[in-house]
């Protein structure tokens, strides 16, 4: 009797083992391995993981494109070339920027103003609403160049950076609202050292009091394609809020950034009229570029990684 029951027990144990291993083999094949599931994940975590995969993919489709950057600098500096204030080439550059913005999905506005010599120039403006729309940041880059420079670094680099950032923020909202302004006629016209920044000065003149108040700050992106030192600059004649905010952020992400004060009285980029009219402003620039304002400021002179660093920095800052 005792022996028989032992035999039964052995058979039962063998049967259980067989069933369990068969079940293991069958279910192992059904495991959704593509999502990289770990043991103990519920269906809820399964869908969350799938969501993450999707999000990661959609993020990667709207990523920084060095190809787009090179194409923009190529068009401005090679296909169009020297773009002095109010010239036909400057207007061609405005058309190009406008078209690129429309292709991305924006509805850019054109702001017309006069430049010396009975000529006209334009600011091209596009906006993106932020998660906190009460505050806004103006991001500016001038697209004219100073003869005889084809203006690859000064300032095809800044224009290309802004176009790429506009593309990235089309599919996601930045923290604050961002206004992208492509300024015409930044460079000096004639001999008077104060005869410059026509586009940005006009833009500031047309800003209402409340618009100025709502603006957290303005950043001029000018000459970001060549040099060894990443500078944030201002005239030290207005609020340092925007400068300090950029410096703090650079420190947080461990990017070396150095403050440099503009020499002289009128400022060296489009931050000038903002800074002098109550809008905290900063200019970011890589230094030094020995070829600026010369014929040699051309496409082959560019250090593309500088633009990438600048773009990624601004993207993280605004996100």
CA 17 to chain centre: 61
Nearer to Zn ion, 168 or 204 (CB): 204
x/- letters, 166..205, toward Zn ion (CB under 5 A): ----------------------------------------
Looking at the Cβ atoms of 90 and 222, the one nearer to Zn ion is 222
| Contacts (CB under 5 A) with Zn ion, residues 18-37 | none
Min dist. Cβ of residue 142 to Zn ion (A): 6
| Residue 143 or 313 with smaller CB distance to Zn ion | 143
Measured distance CA(37)–CA(40) in Å, rounded: 9
CB of 154: closest distance to Zn ion in angstroms? 4
Binder among 90, 98, 154, 164 for Zn ion (CB under 5 A): 154
Least gap, CB of 197 to Zn ion (angstroms): 10
> In angstroms, rounded to a whole number, what is the distance separating the alpha carbons of residues 232 and 51?
39
Distance CA 295, CA 151 (A): 8
Which two tokens mark 312?
């990624």
CA 25-30-32 angle, to 5 degrees, is 130
Cα–Cα dist 172/192, whole Å: 43
Lookup result for tokens 């700050």: 217
First vs last C-alpha separation in the chain: 79
For position 270 contacting Zn ion by CB under 5 A, the verdict is no
Q: State yes or no: residue 155 binds Zn ion (CB under 5 A).
A: yes
The rounded distance, in Å, linking the Cα atoms of 144 and 196 is 11
- The nearest distance, CB 109 to Zn ion, in angstroms, is 23
Q: Which stretch binds Zn ion (CB under 5 A): 86-94, 113-121, 188-196, 214-222?
A: 214-222
Residue 272 in contact with Zn ion, rule: CB under 5 A: no
Q: Looking at beta carbons only, is 90 or 154 nearer to Zn ion? A: 154
Beta carbon of residue 315, minimum distance to Zn ion (angstroms, whole number) = 21
User: Which of 155/308 has CB closer to Zn ion?
Assistant: 155
Strands, sheet with 281-287, edge to edge from the N-terminal-most edge strand = 109-115, 119-128, 176-183, 132-142, 215-221, 281-287, 229-234, 258-261
Q: Which of 14, 311, 319, 317 is nearest to 163 (CA)?
A: 311
Task: Point out which span in 168-176, 192-200, 215-223, 299-307 binds Zn ion (CB under 5 A).
Answer: 215-223
Residues binding Zn ion: number (CB under 5 A): 3
Q: Nearer Cβ to Zn ion, position 174 or 227?
A: 227
Q: How many helices (H) and strands (E) does the chain have?
A: 10, 8
Does residue 222 touch Zn ion according to CB under 5 A? yes
Enumerate residues 84-113 that contact Zn ion by CB under 5 A.
none
Binding site for Zn ion (CB under 5 A): 154-155, 222
């Amino acid at each position: 009797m005792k022996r028989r029951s032992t035999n039964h027990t052995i058979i039962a144990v063998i049967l259980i083992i067989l069933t369990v291993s068969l079940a293991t083999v069958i279910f192992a094949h059904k495991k959704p391995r593509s999502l990289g599931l770990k043991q103990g994940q519920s269906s809820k975590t399964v869908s969350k993981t799938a969501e993450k995969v999707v999000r990661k993919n959609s993020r990667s489709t709207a990523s920084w494109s060095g190809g787009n950057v090179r194409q923009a600098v190529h068009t401005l500096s090679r296909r169009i070339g020297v773009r002095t204030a109010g010239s036909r080439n400057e207007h061609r550059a405005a058309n190009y920027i406008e078209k690129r913005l429309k292709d991305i999905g924006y509805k850019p506005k054109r702001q017309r103003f006069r430049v010396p010599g009975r000529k006209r120039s334009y600011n091209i403006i596009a906006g993106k609403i932020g998660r906190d729309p009460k505050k806004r940041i103006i991001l500016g880059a001038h697209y004219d160049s100073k003869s005889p420079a084809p203006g690859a670094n000064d300032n095809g680099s800044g224009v290309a950076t802004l176009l790429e950032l506009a593309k990235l923020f089309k599919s996601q909202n930045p923290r604050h609202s961002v206004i992208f302004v492509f300024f015409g006629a930044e460079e000096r016209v004639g001999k008077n050292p104060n005869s410059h920044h026509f586009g940005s000065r006009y833009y500031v003149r047309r800003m209402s009091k409340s618009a100025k108040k709502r603006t957290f700050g303005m950043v001029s992106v000018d000459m970001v394609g060549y040099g060894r030192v990443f500078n944030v600059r201002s005239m030290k004649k207005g609020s340092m809020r925007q400068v300090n905010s950029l410096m703090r952020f650079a420190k947080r992400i461990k990017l070396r950034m150095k403050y440099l004060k503009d020499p002289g009285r009128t400022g060296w980029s489009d931050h000038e009229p903002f800074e002098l009219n109550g809008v905290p402003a900063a200019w970011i620039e890589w230094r030094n570029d020995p070829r600026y304002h010369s014929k040699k400021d051309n496409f082959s002179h560019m250090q593309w990684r500088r633009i990438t660093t600048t773009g990624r920095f601004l993207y993280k800052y605004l996100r």
